[in-house]
Amino acid sequence: MRAIRHPGPPLEPRLLTARSDTSQEFAIELGAGADLLATLADALERLGVDTAGIRFAGGNLDRIGFVTGVIDPTGYRIATHSAPAYLEGPILLIGGSAILGRESAERLRLHCHAAFVAADGAARSGHLLPGCCPVGTGGARAFVTSTGNAQFAVVFDAETNFPLMQPVARA
């Protein structure tokens, strides 16, 4: 197992954790025309949920926009995202996971990786882009676990030079 050296010094602890003794479960159905990620985040925010783990349980998309991981040619970071790829539907969303967290006082972040079958019949997977994945006929479904007193919040990480979601205990 090889170790990668990131641009900044290794930070401790290597495992960051926030614990909650409470959580809630939700099932969400998204209808045709909704944006997969933005509509999901909006629905959860209206319920007062700003941190959650999400499991997609299949769905249909009219279009999909996604990126993958590539080496950062500038060296500022060890890696960056590829140029966005856009595929026209019908796209079958097989499954995936997302983490909802707080990016700022006004804004949530939904970090989503998912697997799907494109119109050409090929299975692919990657990092989905908010605002680029309209739900198609038949809708899409997700199960959500909210995290009670444990919150994910975006923090600049000086080891990797990325703003990343990290767990914090809610005040």
Partner 1 sequence: MTAVVTAGRFGRLLAVRVRPNLDLTLGIEALCADHGVRHAEVRAAVGSLTDAVLVTANGRRTIAGPGLEIALTAGRVAPDESGQPRAQLYGLVSDGDGRPYGGAFARGENPVFVTLELILQEWLPDRQAT
For residues 146 and 42, give the distance between their C-alpha atoms in angstroms, rounded to a whole number: 14
Beta carbon of residue 170, minimum distance to partner 1 (angstroms, whole number)? 10
d(CA 80, CA 129): 14
Per CB under 8 A, which of residues 86..115 are in contact with partner 1?
Answer: 95-99, 101, 111-115
CA separation, residue 115 to residues 89, 124, 133 (Å)? 14, 6, 13
Instruction: Please identify, using beta-carbon distances, which residue of 32 and 43 lies nearer to partner 1.
Output: 43
Tokens 């930070």 label which residue? 11
**Phi first, then psi: what are they for 33, rounded to 5°?**
95, -20
Q: Does 165 bind partner 1 (CB under 8 A)?
A: yes
- Toward partner 1, which CB reaches closer, 11 or 137? 11
Site for partner 1 in 20-79 (CB under 8 A): 20-23, 51-55, 66, 68-71, 78-79
The whole-angstrom separation of Cα 151 and Cα 75 is 31
What does the chain come to in residues?
A: 171
Q: Name the minimum Å distance from CB 78 to partner 1.
A: 7
Contact footprint for partner 1 (CB under 8 A): 1-4, 6, 10-11, 13-23, 51-55, 66, 68-71, 78-79, 82, 85, 95-99, 101, 111-115, 123-127, 145, 147-148, 150-152, 157, 159-160, 162, 164-167
